[in-house]
């Protein structure tokens, strides 16, 4: 069933597809995928090539654009675009605290969630491609985790692609999650110190907030328990182009004087719960470390374990001295499943995923070395979320891949840079520059 409607300058068609939960068992259980087709209003009747967009994450549905913002306007000059809600996200069959109990207990839920990684997402794409394009290959645009999916696509089903563009999403082909986070924490520290250099007044503001949280039990209006560690994770904002400025504005209204004394302001608490809650994207927390798992080694809460190797991130110790309190970044920790009411019912499921030892490889270096699909990738210098050295090593493995290494943008360059980023990458992919 489809529905077609218009927005300024575009025609949208909502499309739904049925795919196997397990592609190795095509006659078994099925799930639903949702995707939104977008075409320029003045080209709606034309026969155009297709570009499928794979969102970052994991666990986020595709962008809900209005009109032709960011990269979309450039894409619509020549493509019909498919914005795919990857399995478990957006309007596709959801996977969250409300629906996962339908699977059974934590063990059954964990088994179910093993099918929500890049390999299953790519097989979903191949399952729906014939219905979308009539069997013709399409171009893929992979942002962040969508880039991880794209490298899996090149490894497992390159015949489905006539081109690929990757933005901030070239993964290591063989790094364990521990390796990923050992590389990440020094980057996070650099980003935080750069923020404090830009806004030195925030050093004291963060120290004051952490001091308050260490001495008070703060529960946000949605039931989220705001601990010092939870507050530190607001550093994830520093991975975006405007993140430092937005963090500064968040911190400047943290406190208010009340009849009972100084307290965290309602406005600050509202902003924090919007930033920290995983209610809208629980898969991000549940399978985040699993996207790095490729062998018998469990992830075992890698970000939490590796953080202990970087004692400068200990908020209480930092507060005992006179230096800055470091924030953290794109890391998932077991305490999140205690603090966040959207994750609490899934704590045991998360523990089982963290202890699994039956993960399978996601990438094929030999096949990538023989790649024939035109590929271009933007690598953001000192990207907070994806290690630059890992990305460059992978880029050298993929035959024919052309890179654009830039410090002009942060991880969200394809959004913040608008048409320029996609325009350059398409030209690189086509060997036009």
Catalytic residue flag (residue 288): no
Do 121 and 149 touch, CB atoms closer than 8 A?
A: yes
Q: For residue 102, what are the contacts with CB-CB under 8 A and spacing of at least 6?
A: none
Does residue 28 sit in helix, strand or coil?
A: coil
Other Cβ atoms within 10 Å of 379 Cβ, number = 23
Question: Out of 92, 387, 411, 412, which one is annotated catalytic?
Answer: 411
Contact 124, 132 (CB under 8 A): no
Which run of H or of E encompasses 139?
strand 138-143
Q: Has 155 been annotated as catalytic?
A: no
Closest CA to 246 of 311, 306, 208, 195: 195
Count Cα neighbours of 48 within 13 Å in the Cβ-side half-sphere. Answer: 22
- Work out the end-to-end distance of the chain between its first and last CA atoms, rounded to an integer number of angstroms: 42
Q: Residue 431 catalytic?
A: no
Q: CA-to-CA distance for 363 and 375, rounded, in angstroms?
A: 16
Q: Are strands 138-143 and 161-167 parallel, antiparallel or unpaired?
A: parallel
Q: At what angle do helices 266-276 and 243-251 cross, to 10 degrees?
A: 140
Q: Give the residue among 69, 109, 173, 148 at the shortest CA–CA distance from 356.
A: 109
Give dist(CA 164, CA 325) in Å, integer: 41
Which one from 25, 47, 217, 358 is the annotated catalytic residue?
358
Find the catalytic residue in 92, 120, 144, 172: 144
- With tokens 């399409």, the residue in question is 138
Taking CA atoms, 23 is separated from 31, 108, 227, 243, 421, in Å, by: 11, 18, 41, 39, 34
By annotation, the residues acting in catalysis are 144, 358, 411
């Amino acid at each position: 069933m489809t529905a077609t409607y218009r927005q300024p300058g575009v025609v949208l068609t909502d499309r739904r597809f049925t795919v196997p939960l397990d592609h190795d068992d095509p006659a078994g259980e099925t799930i639903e995928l949702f995707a939104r087709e977008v075409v320029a209003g003045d080209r709606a009747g034309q026969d155009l090539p297709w570009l499928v967009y794979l969102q970052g994450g994991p666990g986020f549905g595709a962008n809900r654009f209005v009109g032709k913002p960011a990269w979309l306007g450039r894409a619509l000059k020549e493509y019909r675009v498919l914005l795919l809600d990857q399995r478990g996200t957006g309007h596709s069959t959801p996977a969250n605290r409300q629906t996962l109990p339908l699977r059974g207990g934590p063990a059954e839920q964990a088994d179910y969630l093993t099918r929500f990684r890049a390999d299953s997402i790519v097989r979903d794409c191949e399952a729906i491609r014939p219905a979308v394009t009539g069997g013709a290959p399409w171009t893929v645009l992979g942002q962040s985790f969508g880039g991880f999916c794209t490298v899996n696509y090149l490894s497992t089903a390159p015949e489905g692609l006539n081109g690929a563009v990757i933005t901030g999403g070239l993964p290591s082909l063989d790094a364990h999650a521990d390796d990923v986070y050992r590389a990440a924490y020094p980057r996070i520290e650099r980003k935080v110190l750069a923020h404090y250099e830009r806004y030195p007044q925030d050093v004291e503001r963060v120290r004051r907030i952490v001091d308050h949280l260490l001495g008070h039990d703060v529960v946000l209006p949605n039931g989220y328990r705001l601990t010092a560690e939870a507050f530190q994770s607001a550093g994830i904002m520093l991975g975006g182009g405007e993140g430092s400025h937005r963090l500064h504005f968040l911190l400047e209204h943290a406190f208010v004087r009340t009849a009972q004394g100084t307290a965290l302001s309602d406005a600050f608490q509202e902003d924090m719960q919007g930033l920290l809650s995983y209610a809208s994207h629980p898969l991000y927390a549940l399978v985040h470390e699993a996207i790095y798992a490729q062998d018998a080694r469990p992830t075992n809460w890698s970000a939490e374990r590796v953080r202990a190797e970087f004692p400068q991130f200990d908020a209480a110790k930092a507060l005992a001295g006179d230096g800055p309190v470091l924030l953290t970044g794109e890391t998932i920790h077991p305490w999140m499943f205690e603090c966040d009411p959207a994750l609490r019912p899934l704590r045991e499921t998360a523990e089982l995923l963290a202890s699994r030892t039956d993960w399978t490889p996601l990438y094929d270096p030999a096949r990538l070395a023989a790649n024939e699909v035109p590929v271009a990738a933007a690598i953001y210098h000192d990207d907070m979320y994806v290690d630059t050295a890992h990305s460059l090593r992978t880029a050298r493995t993929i035959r024919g891949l052309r890179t654009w290494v830039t410090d002009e943008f942060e991880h969200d360059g394809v959004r913040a840079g608008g048409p320029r980023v996609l325009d350059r990458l398409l030209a690189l992919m086509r060997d036009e520059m």
